[in-house]
Amino acid sequence: MTEYKNRYGDIHTFELNERGNINWKGNFDHCRFGYYDNPDDLIMVDPSGGPYITMESDMGHFGDEFKGKKVNGFIIKEDYYEIVIDKFN
């Protein structure tokens, strides 16, 4: 698990799950989202204070364990987001 402290001091965590995707937990009380036509088809998540993560983002920025992993989508969970990783990397 890797921790990221944003500019407001909120801690966000990133952890590989059993499917090879990344569970992203943190403070999402105030957050911007981007999507195509369907609000459940997220292409960008930007919590207040960061981090801004969008399609094709290189997750290696958040830790060596994510090196070479690029964002291919998001799955909305009850209190976190599952970042879908491009399986071709």
Per-residue pLDDT of the chain (89 residues; tens, 9 = 90+): 999 999 999 999 999 999 999 999 999 999 999 999 988 899 999 999 999 999 999 999 999 999 999 999 999 999 999 999 997 65
Give the CB-side neighbour count of residue 39, counting CA atoms within 13 A.
Answer: 1
Return the pLDDT at 82: 98
Q: pTM for this one?
A: 0.94
Return the pLDDT at 89: 55
Q: Indicate the pairing of strand 81-85 with strand 2-5.
A: unpaired
> Phi and psi dihedrals of 45, rounded to 5?
-130, 130
